[in-house]
Amino acid sequence: MVQLVTITSGELTARINPLGAELWSLTDAAGREYMTDADPAFWTGHAPILFPVIGMLREGRYRLDGETYALSKHGFARQSVFDLVDSGTNFARFRLIDTAETREVYPFRFNLDITFRLDASTLQVMAEVTNAGDAAMPFSFGYHPAFAWPLPGGAAKADHRVVFEHAEPQPIRRIDPPSGLLLPETFDTPVTGDTLVPDAALFEADALIWDHIASRAVRYGAPGGAWLTVRFPDTPMLGIWQKPGAAYLCIEPWQGIADPVGFAGDFRDKPGVVSLEPSEAKRFRMDVQVDPAP
DSSP-based three-state secondary structure for 138: strand
Nearest-5° angle of CA 201, CA 204, CA 210? 90
Class of domain 5-291: mainly beta
Digitized pLDDT (tens) for each residue of the chain, 294 residues in all: 679 999 999 999 999 999 999 999 999 999 999 999 999 999 999 999 999 999 999 999 999 999 999 999 999 999 999 999 999 999 999 999 999 999 999 999 999 999 999 999 999 999 999 999 999 999 999 999 999 999 999 999 999 999 999 999 999 999 998 999 999 999 999 999 999 999 999 999 999 999 999 999 999 999 999 999 999 999 999 999 999 999 999 999 999 999 999 999 999 999 999 999 999 999 999 999 999 998
Per-residue confidence (pLDDT) for residue 203, from 0 to 100: 97
> pTM score > 0.75 for this model?
yes
Phi, psi for residue 97 in degrees, rounded to 5: -120, 160
Q: Which residues contact 140 (CB under 8 A, 6 or more apart)?
A: 50, 51, 52, 53, 54, 75, 254, 255, 256, 257, 270, 272, 273, 274
Per-residue confidence (pLDDT) for residue 2, from 0 to 100: 76
Torsion of the alpha carbons at 181, 187, 193 and 198, rounded to the nearest 10: -60
The C-alpha atoms of residue 104 and residue 117 are separated, in whole angstroms, by 33
Per-residue confidence (pLDDT) for residue 1, from 0 to 100: 61
Per-residue confidence (pLDDT) for residue 262, from 0 to 100: 95
Type of residue at 177: P
Per-residue confidence (pLDDT) for residue 193, from 0 to 100: 98
Q: Locate the domains of the chain by residue range.
A: 5-291
